[in-house]
Amino acid sequence: MKVLKFGGSSLGTAARIRRVAKIISDASQADRLAVVLSAMKGVTDSLISCAKSAASGDPGYTKELEAIDRRHRKTAEELLGEAGRGETGDGLGFLFKELEELKDVLHGVELIRECSPLSLDLIMSFGERIICRLFARFLESLGIPAEMVDARQIIVTNSNHGCAVVSPVTYTKIRERLSGARKTPIVTGFIASSEKGATTTLGRNGSDYTASLIGAGLSAEAIEIWTDVDGVLSADPSSVKNAFVIPELSYQEAMELSYFGAEVIHPYTMIPAVENGIPIRIKNTFHPGSPGTLISAAASPKGTPITGIASIEHVALVNVEGGGMIGIPGFAARIFGALARHSISIIMISQASSEHSICLVFQEDLVDKVRETLRGELETELRTKRIQEFEIMGRLVIVAVIGENMRGTPGISGRLFSALGKEGINVLAIAQGSSERNISLVISAADKGKALRSIHRAFLESEEGV
């Protein structure tokens, strides 16, 4: 059993859907499959836009809704013919049901001038529901037994709309529904339902998470994530022309790279697969013959001291500094507690061993919120000069150097800082975890490309012969 997940870029047109069908047809000759689909590229964003417009009372959402309707109908007609095909003989009627329900939900939002998180999850679910129903019908027309499976029947979550937490009962439901399926299940990615039956969504990269859950529930031998790139790259190709596909990654390396900006797969979506030791392969829908990147517990040793370089853009840094911090128990807890109460996520932390300063890195659009939160919490310390006025810097980038071979290898940091020093790149903050798999640096955004290229040359190109 294999689980194949296809992203929106793989399903953007009728021609691309035919390509995906060919991949599934070929794969089904050798293995039993479960298939997970995202919405067609751009559809979820359009649905969110419709919801916001309807909630504001802007009737313009109807035009965007009509565009969504036309796109799906046109795709269905190209795939199935003018009247549609299939044993039911209902033409394209299977689309009308979903589209009419979507129209009714948006009209309700317009009437009450409010789109609650519950309503937004329901609206966002239609992208996956429509494409899965259409795709299953298309496979059937090709003689490939397939059925649409609404993930709301098998994935149970709490009621945290927008990023719901999955219940363990999900695995039982997956096994009961899919393990004996006679047809290839085409499962809606990204969506689920609460214990009360309300539609929920799984958050960023939710379709990958769906695939991982199904893989774990069915004890699959592999999970394949089909996207529009050949695999996980050693660096951002827009900055490093010699970036190459990494053939194999450990789970830990993949999580580190993903957290620091490699967007092929999100860290939490891997957890069910990691816990069950299921390998994940990243493949390119448009180059199916390419081997891609294999992510597993036992990745082959690499001949390079690092595995890859990732980066997070649009970050800012605040430095909390002062003699009044030294030896004061709970000072850091106050800072992090205040930020947590205001839902501010900290990406990176660096603290001097003297306890004289704490450096925090966060998304740049939170600068004002961070400043106000810290001033409110540390008002007394600021007034009495026990700490200095906060130093905040924006237009920064985090660069992370990642790899299993960094563990216990002397000289990595020296080589890294030497490469940056030769390019005149100033490092504002540094953090390294005790696992030694990651060294993270904060630099000016203007230096990003130069930094990535210099690190890539120093650690990867000479070893790979690039």
Question: What is the pLDDT, as a whole number, of residue 83?
Answer: 46
Mean pLDDT is lowest, of 30-44, 130-144, 316-330, for 316-330
Residues 103 and 199 in one domain: yes
In a domain, 251, yes or no: no
433 is in which domain, residue-wise?
A: 308-464
In a domain, 283, yes or no: no
90, pLDDT greater than 70: no
Of the three residues 228, 253, 272, the one that is the final residue of a domain is 228
Tell me the per-residue pLDDT of 225-249, one tens digit each, with 9 for 90 and over: 999 999 999 999 999 999 999 999 9
CA angle (374, 432, 438) in 5-degree steps: 120
Residues 314 and 450 in one domain: yes
In a domain, 292, yes or no: no
33, pLDDT greater than 90: yes
Question: What is the pLDDT, as a whole number, of residue 191?
Answer: 98
Question: What is the pLDDT, as a whole number, of residue 91?
Answer: 66
In a domain, 244, yes or no: no
Phi-psi label, residue 282: left if phi above 0, alpha if psi -120 to 50, beta otherwise: beta
352, pLDDT greater than 90: no
Residues 448 and 350 in one domain: yes
Give the span between the Cα atoms of 164 and 157, in whole angstroms: 6
Mean pLDDT is lowest, of 130-134, 275-279, 296-300, for 296-300
In a domain, 337, yes or no: yes
Question: What is the pLDDT, as a whole number, of residue 85?
Answer: 46
Residues 180 and 321 in one domain: no
Tell me the per-residue pLDDT of 287-313, one tens digit each, with 9 for 90 and over: 999 999 999 998 887 888 899 999 999
Residues 351 and 452 in one domain: yes
Residues 324 and 440 in one domain: yes
Residues 333 and 195 in one domain: no
78, pLDDT greater than 50: yes
Mean pLDDT is lowest, of 303-307, 375-379, 462-466, for 462-466
Question: What is the pLDDT, as a whole number, of residue 435?
Answer: 74
Give the span between the Cα atoms of 44 and 202, in whole angstroms: 13
Residues 154 and 11 in one domain: yes
Question: What is the pLDDT, as a whole number, of residue 466?
Answer: 43
What's the CATH number where 365 sits?
A: 3.30.2130.10
Mean pLDDT is lowest, of 96-110, 171-185, 430-444, for 430-444
User: Predicted confidence band at 81 (pLDDT cuts at 50, 70, 90)?
Assistant: confident
Tell me the per-residue pLDDT of 419-452, one tens digit each, with 9 for 90 and over: 999 999 999 999 987 678 899 999 999 999 999 9
88, pLDDT greater than 60: no
Give residue for tokens 């529930």: 217
Higher per-residue pLDDT: 368 or 204: 368
Question: What is the pLDDT, as a whole number, of residue 353?
Answer: 62
In a domain, 246, yes or no: no
In a domain, 276, yes or no: no
Of the three residues 194, 209, 228, the one that is the final residue of a domain is 228
Question: What is the pLDDT, as a whole number, of residue 82?
Answer: 55
Of the three residues 205, 228, 251, the one that is the final residue of a domain is 228
Question: What is the pLDDT, as a whole number, of residue 302?
Answer: 82
What's the CATH number where 177 sits?
A: 3.40.1160.10
Mean pLDDT is lowest, of 8-17, 175-184, 259-268, 311-320, for 259-268
Looking at the 3D structure of the chain, how many domains does it have? 2
In a domain, 285, yes or no: no
- Average pLDDT over the chain, rounded to whole? 93
Contact between residue 79 and residue 138 where contact means Cβ atoms under 8 Å apart: yes
User: Predicted confidence band at 179 (pLDDT cuts at 50, 70, 90)?
Assistant: very high
Residues 314 and 186 in one domain: no
Give the span between the Cα atoms of 193 and 150, in whole angstroms: 10
Give the span between the Cα atoms of 134 and 72, in whole angstroms: 9
Residues 205 and 315 in one domain: no
